[in-house]
Chains A and B, each alone.
Chain A
Amino acid sequence: MELDALLRSLEATGVATAIRENDLLFPWVESFHVLAITLVVGSIAIVDLRLMGLASRDRAIARVASEVLPCTWAAFGVAALSGALLFSSNALTYAHNAYFLAKLSFLVLAALNMSIFHLFVGHDSESRGAKIAGGVSLALWICVVAFGRWTGFTLHATPLAS
């Protein structure tokens, strides 16, 4: 398969080899990945719960979003970069892991949900659409965490990954 060849050459790059073969590099990158994910999910949950009308109701949605989302995006940048590095170290194994693929799918769905919300609802509104978008987002991010955690238990190429 052509994709497999591509993934193999990704694994063969210097950075990927270093992360795979150095005993300390993988856990360090992983630590930043986990830290970033807790900040992404925790901060998105603040906005989602506000959209759902379940928290911070004394503050406007636009205000909560403008205060919190810069933190979310910064943390997401770190999570995506560290995640890409971890992926590269064992690209073939991850790409064939059903839990990892599910995690990526939930990430894509979370992005779609956000885009649809911005295009059709707009983040000022206290509407039913906003409530639904918030609930869907929260559920999708919980799935991202769950399937990410499960990935570590179902990979056998990196025995230390659990």
Chain B
Amino acid sequence: MRTRALDSFCAWLEQTPLSQAIQGAGWIVPTVQTIHILAIAAVMASALMIALRLDARFRRVIGWALPVLLATGVIMIIGEPVRSLENPVFQLKMALLASAIVVFLLPFRNRVVATLSLCLWVGIVFAGRWIAYY
């Protein structure tokens, strides 16, 4: 999906001082990506523990990791708006993320929900890696 409004938003975002600062300092993106991967590691291991029914309390860990993922994700978007926002794989990733958050917030929990959640998170990790190739 690419609209003129998205084009001009990306063009504006790219020119903001914050985006320029992120683009200018080469260490920021790899550092933020490292934190992003560590947070996704917390989510993946937690989703696996829940799906294997080892410990349902790991749901809280996902709750802590989500804000970290969103914050580091937003920094990466600000640094490279076109590469992310206009990328079809990124858009797919956001759709999967929205689904994963809906599943996370479901009022009931069982084995099917836990398995679905784990599968969605696997899809999110895969889509995340493929952003670089589109």
A-B contact count (CB 8 A): 79
**CB of B122 within 8 A of chain A?**
yes
Residues of A within 8 A of B41 (CB): 37-42, 45, 145
Residues of B within 8 A of A42 (CB): 41-46, 48
Specify the main secondary structure of chain B where it touches its partner.
helix
Contact with B along A42-63 (1 / 0, CB 8 A): 1101100000000010000000
Specify the main secondary structure of chain A where it touches its partner.
helix
Q: Give B87 Cβ to nearest chain A Cβ, in Å.
A: 14
Q: Is the CB of A39 within 8 A of B34?
A: no
Q: Which of B6-14, B96-104, B108-116, B124-132 contacts A (4 or more CB under 8 A)?
A: B124-132
List the B residue with the shortest CB-CB distance to A72: B45
List the A residue with the shortest CB-CB distance to B47: A42
Q: Is the CB of A38 within 8 A of B37?
A: yes
Q: Is the CB of A68 within 8 A of B42?
A: no
Residues of chain A at the chain B interface (Cβ within 8 Å): 23, 27, 30-31, 34-35, 37-43, 45-46, 56, 67-68, 71, 142, 145-146, 149-150, 152-153, 160-162
